[in-house]
Structures are given as C-alpha cells and as structure tokens.
C-alpha cells in the first residue's frame, strides 16, 4: 500500500513538458479544440447567470425591486438561456468528442506502429501485459483527459474564478466572510476524504487477500484433503478475516469522524455565511434574492473546489500515462539502431557465412552464447545445426535475421555484410517454420497469405498442395475460409505446421529457416510434414535446427555446436564414423532407443 502511494506520479517541469508534447496528436483537430474551448468558456459564463436570475425572481415576487420585468418575462428569458445553454453544451461535447476520438485513435496507431518497429531486445526486456496496458489503459486515460477531464478542469476553474468575482461584486463584506471560512473547510474536507479513501483501499486489499485464500483452497481442495489440512486452512482464513475486521473498524471510525467533520464544520460554515447574510438582509444591506443567489454561488464554488481536487488527481495520472506512452514513442525503431547502410537486397542467392562471430544477449551480457563461430553455407545447400539446448543454435538464426547484433565478427550473405542491406528487403528473402506454430486467429486463407499478402487464389491453393495441406483444407466446409481459432487452437499440431509451410512456400524465400519443425509431432504427422518440408527446401538455402537426427541424414552438412562453439562438421556418414565424436554419441543414443 505504501509503495503505491510513494510511486504515484507527480507533476514536474519535465513531466509537464512531455505531457504537452502529446498534444501534437490533436494538432490536426486544433480548430475543433479551440472552438470547444470557446464554447466551454461561453457555457460556463452563462451558467453563472442562473443563480442571479433566481435571486432576481425572488425579489420581483416580493416587490423588493423596481424593474420593468415581471416574473413571466423573466421566466421566458430563463427558458431562452436554458435552450442556449443546451445548444452550447451539445456543440462543446461534440467538438471535444471529435478531438478526443480522432486524437487518441492517432495516438493508438502511432504507438502500435512504433511498438512493432522496435527491436526484439525491447520485447525481451518488457512484459507483454505491460505493453498491452500502455496501448489500452494509458491511451484510455489520455482519451478521458482530452474528452472530459481537461474540459471539466477548465470549466471548474472558470466557474470558481467567475463565481468569486460575482460574489465580490454583489457584496464585498459577505464575500470576505465566505472566502475566509468556506474554502478552508472544503479543502480540509478534501484531505479528510483522501485519508478515508486510503483506509477504504486498505480494506479492499485485505478483503482481496481473504478471497485469494478462499480461491486457492477451493482450487486445490484435493491437495487440502489429501494432506488433511482442513484445520490449517480454516485457521489461515480466520486470521485473514480478523485482519479485515480490524481494518474495517478503522475505516468505520474514519467515516464516522468524517461525517462529524462534514456536519459540524462544513454545514457550520455554511450556516454562518447564511446567518451573516440574513443579518445583512435584516439591516437592508442586501435583498433576500441577493442572499439566495449568494448562497447558491457559494455552493457552486464549494463544488468547484472539491471537483478541482479530484480532477487534479486525474490529470496527474494522465501525465503519468503520457510519460509511459512517450517512452515507447521515443524508443529508437529497429531500423534506426542498425549500424550500417541501406542497399536494396533484391533477390538474394543465399550464400551465408559466419566469420568468427561472438555474441551475448543484451539481457545477459555476462554470458557469452557464441564464442567465435565460423561456418559456410553455399547457396542452395541444406545445413543442419545440432547440439544440446543452449549451445547457440537458435541464436545463429536470430543473428541471421538481424534480431540482434553480434558482439564481434561478421555475418555475410552473398559476399556482403548483412548490415549493408536495407532491413525490409533483406528479410523478404527469409521464411521460418518454427517448432511451435502460432497462427493468427483469422482464417486459413489469411494465415497462408501472411507469406505474400498480394497472392492470388491459385497461388494459395498451389502452396497448400505443395505443403500437403490441401487435402485436409478441402475437407472443411468453409475450406480456405475456415476459422483457425485463437493461436490456431482449432487445428491439430500437424495441420498448423503444414499451414506454416504453405505460408513459407508462398513466400518463396531464398533462405529457409526450420527450427525443430517436426519435433513435437507424432510419427504419422511427422512423415506428411517432412514430405512438405522436402518440397519447400528444394532449390533454396536451408538451415535446420534438429534434435531428431533421423530427419537430417540427407543434408549437405551438419554443424555440431557445444557451449557456443562448432566442435564438428560434416555429413551424417562422416560424423557417425567418428567413434568419440559428439554427433556419433547422440546418433547412437537416439537410434538405439528407436
């Protein structure tokens, strides 16, 4: 609880400067914003007329003032002002709605574009839930700021300043009495209320802890009964409930004291102002209508002061949200961090070489993953990477895709350092089929088209046939328009793999990356998928990570990695012939078990 209080965002010159920068997204709608502010000022000013008109009506009804206006005429004027106020309010809401809806939509789009352009290391350091929160909750706070909080904050300031000015004009003496007592009480009530709300949050936290115990116990009821811990859980739940009661009693005491404060101090101050005003009515210094108007203005000013406190808290929260949003928007995109040139890669042949490459992940700089890796992959050849988990196999693929930069050494494709190429045109030469295929939640067609969005229907079907996927696709009632479900959950593992292969075939890459693409499949599915992979690898550079050595017997070269180094290389037959070799040991172990 204390941590939440201490980490609450606070206003500073830097935070305000960042908050102001977010207004660049409403610059295209500046005239709607300016017109909305004008209507806000006009509506707030008109609102301040109502208490005076009500007091005027009372004086006319009592015959205390001489005027050409009667009650009926004043009533018509009041209706006219109400209609005008309604029109102004409608237009103001619509103006701010345009600014807030379109402005926050632009922020969301800009934030999303920046987010997906950031380097992989950013996502390795960040939690997905936090990033989603920035794109939803933080932007929603900015929406509320543009649409409601900012307008109401300014409106209450106008009402506060205008109300005090009107009171001072009506009666200097009575205004001085009000200003000396009433605002002090209202501000005190705001701080008192904050203390009570803090106790309320503490009570909710304790109650949540109690509910957690209940949830855990019911979720794990088999374990509770198996270990005969019913008495232990009952005591734990009772202790938690006792802490809820203790906090609740403090909360009740706080509410009781707050109620006494409101009744005695706030109403006492109001009655004091009313009593002094009645004395002035009795001595003829003001009229009864002026007193009614004065008390109404006082209530309005009190409400404005209280509202300003709440809106200030909301604005501070919005400033914090702005800082978090700006943090992403200011982060350098992947293309901005690249160390070299932007030559268009075109269609690469796919000759790959690593030259003494060293690498440590930015999140683990003290652990060297690759320790001087050198390898050569001629264009069109099939190469396999073999080794224990953590040997550096996936890291080689990630470096080749430019997800990370090597600490030292070079990575060359077709005789040119990969960082000399334009990133987008370079990656267009790649396709990857991972071990765990995660499809997008749309249709089969949309998932295959991800490899080439402009492909024709015939190209999609041809790719599906090559991937051995058309047989099961054609059996679905909706065929290519079949919904795959979230993350492809409605399809089997083998079906998902073949959809991913069809996507890669449609991509027609120069360099194909297969990351244990059949390791999680049963024997029957693996056979069908392996046939599809053989079709896919035909005539292109293929780099395969494999744990099942039976799937890589026919590759042109196998590189064996151990602790970030290449310790062996050769064909399956050559490496199997090495009696003390790492590969031969793995092969004997797997084939004997098979």
Task: Please provide the DSSP assignment of 502-530 as one string.
Answer: HHHHHH--SEEEEESTTTTS-HHHHHHHH
Q: How many CB atoms lie within 10 A of CB 470?
A: 19
Residue 7 has pLDDT above 50, yes or no: no
User: What is the arithmetic mean of pLDDT over 23-52?
Assistant: 80
66 versus 588: the higher-pLDDT residue is: 588
pLDDT in tens, 385-424: 888 777 788 888 888 888 888 888 888 888 888 888 888 8
Q: Does domain 13-170+312-336 have CATH number 1.20.1560.10?
A: yes
* CA-to-CA dists, residue 300 to 164, 166, 182, 462, 590, angstroms: 10, 12, 12, 73, 83
Q: Which residues pair with 545 in a beta bridge?
A: 385, 515
pLDDT in tens, 300-314: 776 676 666 666 666
Pairing of strands 352-360, 511-515: unpaired
Task: Provide the pLDDT for residue 2.
Answer: 39
SS3 content of the chain, % helix, strand, coil (to 5): 65, 10, 20
Q: Whole-model pTM above 0.75?
A: no
**Longest pairwise C-alpha distance within the chain:** 119
Distance of alpha carbon 92 from alpha carbon 42, whole angstroms: 10
Dihedral (C-alpha) 249, 254, 258, 261: value to the nearest 10 degrees? 110
Distance of alpha carbon 360 from alpha carbon 392, whole angstroms: 10
H helix and E strand count, the chain = 24, 10
Residue 59 has pLDDT above 70, yes or no: no
Task: Provide the pLDDT for residue 465.
Answer: 83
Task: Provide the pLDDT for residue 3.
Answer: 40
Task: Provide the pLDDT for residue 472.
Answer: 83
pLDDT in tens, 505-514: 888 888 888 8
Chain centre distance of CA 285: 61
User: What is the arithmetic mean of pLDDT over 500-526?
Assistant: 75
261 versus 377: the higher-pLDDT residue is: 377
Q: Quickly state the pLDDT bin for 5 (edges 50, 70, 90).
A: very low
* CA-to-CA dists, residue 415 to 31, 138, 405, 429, 512, angstroms: 55, 47, 18, 15, 18
Tell me the domain boundaries of the chain.
Answer: 13-170+312-336, 172-285, 356-593
Whose CA is closest to 328, among 26, 6, 22, 13?
22
Distance of alpha carbon 381 from alpha carbon 540, whole angstroms: 7
Task: Provide the pLDDT for residue 6.
Answer: 40
* Percent of all residues in the chain with a pLDDT value above 70, rounded to a whole number: 79
User: What is the arithmetic mean of pLDDT over 239-268?
Assistant: 78
User: What is the arithmetic mean of pLDDT over 15-28?
Assistant: 68
pLDDT in tens, 323-350: 777 777 777 777 776 666 678 888 888 8
Q: Which residues pair with 432 in a beta bridge?
A: 513
Task: Provide the pLDDT for residue 389.
Answer: 76
Q: Which residues pair with 384 in a beta bridge?
A: 544, 558
Whose CA is closest to 412, among 335, 502, 499, 511?
511
Whose CA is closest to 183, among 277, 302, 263, 309?
302
Q: Quickly state the pLDDT bin for 594 (edges 50, 70, 90).
A: very low
Burial class (CB in 10 A: 0-12, 13-18, 19+), 289: buried
Q: Please enumerate in sequence order all residues whose Cβ is within 8 A of that of 68, keeping only pairs 6 or more positions apart, or say none.
A: none
Task: Provide the pLDDT for residue 316.
Answer: 67
Residue 1 has pLDDT above 50, yes or no: no
Distance of alpha carbon 101 from alpha carbon 95, whole angstroms: 10
Q: Quickly state the pLDDT bin for 64 (edges 50, 70, 90).
A: low
- Please answer whether residues 411 and 357 qualify as being in contact, where contact means their C-beta atoms are separated by less than 8 angstroms: yes
Task: Provide the pLDDT for residue 449.
Answer: 85
Out of 3.40.50.150, 3.10.180.10, 3.40.50.300, 3.30.43.10, select the CATH number for domain 356-593: 3.40.50.300
Kindly list the catalytic residues: 516
Q: Mean pLDDT, the chain, as a whole number? A: 77
The b-or-e profile of 365-379 (16+ CB within 10 A means b, else e) is: eeebbbeebebebeb
Residue 4 has pLDDT above 50, yes or no: no
Residue 257 has pLDDT above 70, yes or no: yes
Q: Please enumerate in sequence order all residues whose Cβ is within 8 A of that of 461, keeping only pairs 6 or more positions apart, or say none.
A: 470, 480
pLDDT in tens, 210-227: 888 888 788 788 888 888
Q: Which residues pair with 515 in a beta bridge?
A: 545
Distance of alpha carbon 338 from alpha carbon 332, whole angstroms: 10
Whose CA is closest to 359, among 391, 395, 403?
395
- The helix (run of H) or strand (run of E) holding residue 355 is strand 352-360
pLDDT in tens, 151-169: 777 777 777 777 778 777 7
User: What is the arithmetic mean of pLDDT over 29-46?
Assistant: 83
pLDDT in tens, 439-476: 777 888 888 888 788 888 888 888 888 888 888 888 88
Question: Could you give the residue ranges of the DSSP H alpha helices within 136-171?
Answer: 139-144, 150-170
Where is average pLDDT lowest: 59-63, 361-365, 568-572, 581-585? 59-63
Whose CA is closest to 395, among 382, 380, 411, 379?
411
Distance of alpha carbon 393 from alpha carbon 192, whole angstroms: 62
Q: Quickly state the pLDDT bin for 292 (edges 50, 70, 90).
A: confident
């Amino acid at each position: 609880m204390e941590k939440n209080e201490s980490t609450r965002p606070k206003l500073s010159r830097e935070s305000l400067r960042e908050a102001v920068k977010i207004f660049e997204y409403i610059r295209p709608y500046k005239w709607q914003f300016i017109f909305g502010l004008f209507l806000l000022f006009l509506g707030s000013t008109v609102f301040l007329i109502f208490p005076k008109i009500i007091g005027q009506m009372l004086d006319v009804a009592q015959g205390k003032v001489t005027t050409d206006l009667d009650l009926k005429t004043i009533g018509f004027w009041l209706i006219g002002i109400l209609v005008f106020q309604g029109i102004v309010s409608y237009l103001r809401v619509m103006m701010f709605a345009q600014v807030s809806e379109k402005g926050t939509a632009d922020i969301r789009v800009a934030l999303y574009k920046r987010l997906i352009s950031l380097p992989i290391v950013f996502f390795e350091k960040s939690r997905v839930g936090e990033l989603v929160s920035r794109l939803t909750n933080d932007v929603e706070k900015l929406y509320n700021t543009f649409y409601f909080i900012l307008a109401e904050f300014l409106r209450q300031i106008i009402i506060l300043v205008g109300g005090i000015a009107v009171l001072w004009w009506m009666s200097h003496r009575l205004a001085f009495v009000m200003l000396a007592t009433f605002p002090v009480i209202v501000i005190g009530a705001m701080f008192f209320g904050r203390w009570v709300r803090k106790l309320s949050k503490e009570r909710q936290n304790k109650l949540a802890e109690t509910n957690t115990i209940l949830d855990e116990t019911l979720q794990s009821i088999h374990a509770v009964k198996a270990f005969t811990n019913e008495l232990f859980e009952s005591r734990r739940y009772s202790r938690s409930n006792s802490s809820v009661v203790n906090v609740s009693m403090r909360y009740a005491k706080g509410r009781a004291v707050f109620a006494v404060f409101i009744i005695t101090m706030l109403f006492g101050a109001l009655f004091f102002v009313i009593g002094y005003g009645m004395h002035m009515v009795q001595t003829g210094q003001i009229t009864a209508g002026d007193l009614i108007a004065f008390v109404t203005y006082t209530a309005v000013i009190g409400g404005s002061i209280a509202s300003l406190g709440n809106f200030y808290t909301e604005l501070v929260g919005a400033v914090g949200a702005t800082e978090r949003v700006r943090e992403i928007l200011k982060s350098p995109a992947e293309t901005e961090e690249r160390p070299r040139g932007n030559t268009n890669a075109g269609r690469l042949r796919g000759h790959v070489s690593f030259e003494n490459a060293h690498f440590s992940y930015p999140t683990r700089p003290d652990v060297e993953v690759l320790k001087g890796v050198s390898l050569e992959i001629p264009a069109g050849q099939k190469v396999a990477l073999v080794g224990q988990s953590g040997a550096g196999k996936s890291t080689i693929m990630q470096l080749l895709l430019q997800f990370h930069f090597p600490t030292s050494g070079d990575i060359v494709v077709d005789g040119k350092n990969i960082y000399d190429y334009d990133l987008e045109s370079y990656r267009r030469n790649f396709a990857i089929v991972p071990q765990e295929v995660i499809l997008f939640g749309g249709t089969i067609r949309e998932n295959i088209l991800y490899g080439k969005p402009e492909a024709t229907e015939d190209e999609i079907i041809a790719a599906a046939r090559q991937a051995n996927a058309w047989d099961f696709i054609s059996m679905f009632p909706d065929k290519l328009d079949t919904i795959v479900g979230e993350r492809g959950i409605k399809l089997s593992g083998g079906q998902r793999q073949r959809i991913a292969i069809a996507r890669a075939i449609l991509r027609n890459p120069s360099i194909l990356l297969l990351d244990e693409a059949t390791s999680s499949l049963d024997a029957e599915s693996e056979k069908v998928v392996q046939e599809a992979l053989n079709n896919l690898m035909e005539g292109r550079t293929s780099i395969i990570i494999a744990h099942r050595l039976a799937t890589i017997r026919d590759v042109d070269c196998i590189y064996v990695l151990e602790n970030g180094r290449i310790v062996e290389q050769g064909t399956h037959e050559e490496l199997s012939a090495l009696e003390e070799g790492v590969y031969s040991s793995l092969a004997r172990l797997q084939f004997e078990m098979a």
